[in-house]
Each structure stands twice: as C-alpha cells, then as structure tokens.
C-alpha cells in the first residue's frame, strides 16, 4: 500500500493537503505526522505549508524533523508545496535572510512591490501574488501527466524562487517577472502553487504523485 507522510511542523494549511490527497487517491494511506519514524516508514513524503520561512526552518530543527526529512528526500518520491518548495533552495531573503536546505541551487526573493506591473495592461500588480495563474511546463515530467500545458493553479505568496540551474525548473509562471513555479530533480518535485486549492489540475498532480516512482 502507498503510505504518504505529510510533515506536520506547525504551519498552516496542512490538513487540507491531507484531505486533497485522500480525495485524489482514496486507496493511499495518508498520515499527518510529527514523528521521524513515520517519515522513515512512509513510501512517499509531502512537505507543505504556508507562512514564514524562518519559522518553518526553526520548527524543523526544534521538532527534530530536519534529519528525517533530508533522509527521506534522498530516497523517496518527495513533493514540496509552497514553503516546501522555498525551503529546498540555498537562501531566502525573507526575515532578513534565512538559509534553506540547499538541495536546489538558487535564492528565494521578494517580489519588488514598487516594480510590479502587468506587461499586457500596464496596470500595477499586488503583492502577495494571490489567485489563479498559468504554469508553463518547461518539459515532460511524470508529474505533469494528464495536465494540459499552461494550466492554471492557485497561488498565495510574496516570495518567489529564482533557480540558479535551469535544469531544475519544471514549470514557470509570469507575474511581472518569470519565476520558478515548479522544480524537479531526481525524486524531488516541488511547486509554489497549492494543488489542494487548484481543483482538477491540482488533484491530478496529487494523483500523479501517488503513482510516480520517483524517477526523472
């Protein structure tokens, strides 16, 4: 049986992720957990969350989850969502500067509020980036199976990933500038948007995750 450990480190929006996975793949066993043993025992791991990256990294250390998370990322199909994407990079500008897990090369930067303008209309864009937007798939990946090119997903974020390695970029989104909205490397797939809030496309992504063997 597929067992999915959803890492609970005290941030928001975790139970809705569990419910969405259960809805997309009823036969999967989903557990929201704070236990390193559950993460090690699961066949796949989801790292979601909303909020501040500094609090996220502190909670991982304080709960003793960092080591089990890093171990799981090396060996199992792994899905990062929102903060679960941003935490994979080297560094975030948020909170005066926060080191990440350095599993992906690049920096998480704040949208420059005074320079956010819609290219098509010339109108100012708000920060945070909140609502539906297109994700352009940069190439084939098992996680994109059955999801049309330029499908729309739901975003809520003020910081964006600027990948240093183009090979890590699986999807891009335009919001005044182009940013990495999906990243992939080996058995890692991570997204800035919220699949649990993204209706059909998001549920298909979660369904793909349960059937994905982690190869890329």
Query: Of residues 56, 94, 157, 196, which has the active-site annotation?
Result: 196
User: By C-alpha distance, which of 170, 139, 183, 133 is closest to 154?
Assistant: 133
Which contacts of 204-207 are long-range, i.e. CB under 8 A and separated by 24 or more positions? 204/24, 204/145, 204/146, 204/147, 205/143, 205/147, 206/20, 206/21, 206/24, 206/25, 207/24, 207/25
71 is catalytic: no
Separation of alpha carbons 9 and 178, rounded Å: 30
Which contacts of 109-112 are long-range, i.e. CB under 8 A and separated by 24 or more positions? 109/159, 109/160, 109/162, 110/158, 110/159, 111/158, 111/159, 111/160, 111/175, 111/176, 111/177
82 is catalytic: yes
196 is catalytic: yes
Query: Of residues 82, 94, 129, 157, which has the active-site annotation?
Result: 82
| Residues forming the active site | 82, 194, 196
């Amino acid at each position: 049986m597929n067992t999915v450990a959803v890492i609970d480190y005290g941030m928001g929006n975790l139970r809705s992720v569990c419910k969405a996975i259960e809805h997309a793949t009823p036969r999967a066993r989903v557990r929201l957990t704070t236990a390193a043993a559950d993460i090690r025992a699961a066949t796949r791991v989801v790292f979601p969350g909303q909020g501040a990256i500094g609090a996220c990294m502190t909670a991982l250390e304080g709960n003793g989850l960092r080591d089990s998370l890093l171990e799981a990322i090396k060996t199992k199909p792994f899905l990062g969502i929102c903060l679960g994407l941003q935490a994979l990079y080297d560094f975030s500008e948020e909170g005066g500067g926060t080191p990440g897990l350095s599993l992906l090369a690049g920096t998480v930067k704040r949208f420059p509020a005074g320079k956010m303008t819609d290219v098509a209309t010339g109108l100012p864009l708000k920060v945070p980036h909140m609502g539906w937007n297109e994700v352009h798939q940069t190439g084939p990946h098992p996680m994109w199976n059955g999801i049309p090119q330029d499908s729309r997903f739901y975003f809520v974020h003020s910081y964006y990933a600027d990948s240093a390695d183009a090979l890590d970029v699986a999807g891009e989104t335009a919001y005044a500038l182009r940013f990495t909205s999906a990243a992939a490397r080996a058995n890692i797939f991570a997204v800035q948007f919220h699949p649990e809030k993204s209706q059909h496309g998001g549920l298909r992504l979660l369904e793909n995750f349960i059937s994905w063997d982690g190869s890329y």
